[in-house]
Amino acid sequence: MAGHAALLQALLPEIYAPTGRIEPELIAEGAALDTALLVSLDPLRGLTPLAALEWLEDYERVYGLPGDCRQQGLLLQERLALLAIALTERAAINRAYFIWLAGQLGYAVTIEEFDPFRAGFSHAGERITNYEALFAAGWRAGQSLAQGAPWQFVWMVHASGEPTTLFRAGVSGAGEPLVSWSNQLLECAIRNAAPAHTMVHFAYGG
């Protein structure tokens, strides 16, 4: 006998022989205690979904994930990245927060804010509008700018490029591609966190 069965055997009075009819009872009860001990460690593993992926859906349910960033074929690593953001973020409305947010998804970014030309604040030679940068990011004349908001409510995220997500044992799911590329998650996460009165554009490769 081993495990809890051996412990139960050691607790028997000396007049009991650990053979015969009592032996299968010791083995069965010992196995139940062995299982209980093993399962009792699950909550410790569940402190982080990286150690207990079977609890990932519960974490996502509690944090409302993936929320608006739900998309077909979302990789396990991307789901874990969204959860890591939800677990650790302390939201703020500043450059540092959005740079941190992009970093959690594997991007190095800079943020450019646009200002309208204002007498007394702007200088000779500065742009009157920021049409050039907006056109470069894909904006077209006639498109809404946050319900007619002035230029100071438009900002640009410059990303160095598109990160590569490699298949990794333990944090990738069966059937996922060995390599994948996508910018959708970055744009969704930042737009969800952006102040409602602003419009954010993205430029890649710069």
Q: Please report which confidence band the pLDDT of residue 149 belongs to, taking 50, 70 and 90 as the band edges.
A: very low
The model's pLDDT over 66-115, given as tens digits with 9 standing for 90+, comes to 777 777 778 887 888 888 888 777 767 888 989 988 888 888 899 988 76
**Residue-level pLDDT at 146:** 43
Q: Residue 9's pLDDT is what?
A: 86
In terms of Cα–Cα distance, which of 39, 29, 22 is closest to 5?
Answer: 29
pLDDT of residue 164: 65
CB of 80 closer than 8 Å to CB of 60: no
Amino acid 82: pLDDT: 85
CA–CA distance, 106 with 160 (Å, rounded to integer): 10
Q: Has this prediction a pTM greater than 0.85?
A: no
Q: Which of 68, 108, 74, 81 shows the shortest CA–CA distance to 182? A: 74
Q: Is the pLDDT of residue 199 over 90?
A: no
Instruction: State the Cα–Cα distance between residues 206 and 186, nearest whole angstrom.
Output: 16
Q: Average pLDDT, stretch 168-190?
A: 71
User: What single-letter amino acid sits at 27?
Assistant: I
CA separation, residue 164 to residues 81, 82, 105 (Å)? 14, 16, 11
- The pLDDT of residue 33 is 93
Q: What percent of the chain has pLDDT over 90?
A: 5
Position 182 confidence tier, pLDDT thresholds 50, 70, 90 = low
Tell me how far apart the alpha carbons of residues 192 and 128 are, in angstroms, rounded to a whole number.
29
